Structure 1
């Protein structure tokens, strides 16, 4: 089988050396090297727009790629194009970088100077892995063949502001619009997605925590296919098991879901953990839900500032949804935007709990009447946020990166949100 290889190297001499060695590999078909991260992503998006089969089996990323640092670029390629095996080429082949590369989604690390035997072994391993993933993806007729689905996180400013209800309605609206949608409960100790939809299931996200390569069959065993059309990945019934889902597990699970569904809606609860901070960092769209009161708005501001300090997501890249709003509320959306520096939505959600009480108490929020002003507002909001239809045009570049993206921040970003917080305290 011919292995298609796309090298990405900013240094022309390094690019020539890589291509020279690749040309000696049996059954290898090296493409012309790309000089920067933007060209690499543009090339992959263009190929994926035609067919999954057009993508190369292996992408080689040189450590001196730019403008996006190497580990960030690997993370982006691995998430957007899950059937491509990415290998990092670096002068540092130590265990710390190896671990960071694996966490970012790399399938191998090749040390510099290049050696033929090591290059051949790593390329072959990545190509075999890619072929296996494509075989799995090919079994499911509904598996997306493009660059992967969209990930949306919904976080509450504090408990009780309606984040779970919002996430559930967003997912129901997308499923009703015909999008293949997964709803994930990442409120690991106190998740209530199952209670809202009257679902009990023996499997949860914790069952995927120790699995390095999550195949479609493994994912299918953990997901509950609800009659609403949603694929549900629930929080563990035993809250203490939530500790099993760390940053690495969250990254792997989200990558597997992105490869399988058009839209992944994640309820992140209101507590900042390593797992849900990772989800917010990886999300194409991060939604914060608040109510128009002093305590909730202060909590929203506190969480957004924490995300910024951890280099998880900038305030201006966070979308604020105001729940339980009325014209008579003293704190209006414009003031919340000013206080939190977040991006406002046009549609606030009205305060009309009486409409919801019966379905919430029954655990059947999917049965909420279409005449409900709350449901109408949330489904309108889902359309405003682009959740009801695929993007009109293929993206030439990925969603805005949430962190700083500077070379000096590479080690911090590779370490993960919780490790970044610890290092910030120590510094």
Structure 2
């Protein structure tokens, strides 16, 4: 076996994928102990820390908080997951993807601490999270923005105390780990809340458990459409109103549409304000003009790529496409994992889909193109092609697209990543 100091990033990632018996292993005891050994829990991670949890909308909220903070002159560190094309996407330091050397040094620091005493087994995600936190501590940013993984209370990111905690949406996803009960899911997500630190609720329909948990934990609630909100002002602009310094009311006018959910944009503004930033209208406009998030309503020519993989996300996609008239056909290239609600996603997209291409993904959790096609057909719609991979589906489709057609690629990070790589090849 290679010594740790001679491993490349790819070699490290391959080792981490094989090192722990479970890909997802929720719980804080093991990761907290290694974090303690690494000294990550002795002092604040950054001058200010924001954590973002939720079922959908975490990535776009994080991206907009980062863009807004940087436009206000803050040095940022941003941790997200999963990635699309390169693992380095998961950690951004001052707006740039981290380099291989920093990640490798982080993995080596985790490995040293993991073996310092009784050896502790860690999952791929846990090692990646600890390595990212180690890099952030060394970078000393003004603001650290941390996206929580699939859970909340037992997620590795939750070893860090945040100054402001955000919950975007609560919907059914990852049922094998979080269950199907929305109240229970809300309780898990609310596990990131801390006494005295604001709890920003970025969705209008939160389960009652979220507010109960906030009250029990002593986290003051700052909720969408109660403390802050937005409304359209025409010509593709919108207005935000929320809490300013010293509990004043602040209004920002004529903000540009970032091409991402405006509930999340409004949430990002309020979150940054609660983190101590005095919001400047011109800086906010520039941030929303510039922000980009690969794989979220990302247009590449006629192709719209979105990682949405549950009914809630699919319904949002359908709504956005309805706002964009298309004189041709809307094709849906769909690839999903076996543990996702395919029937719910298909039903949510049915109103905008003129033709379907179903594709098979690789791996143990994959769902076959045939399975997806059967579900589409059971809903009364036709499937034009069943392909062995996203790339094969795209190759079949590209020769049949009319200039006025469009393609929605969705269902999984894996589906979007495959098509992004195919487009760049």
Larger % of helix: which? 1
TM-score (norm 1): 0.35
TM-score (norm 2): 0.35
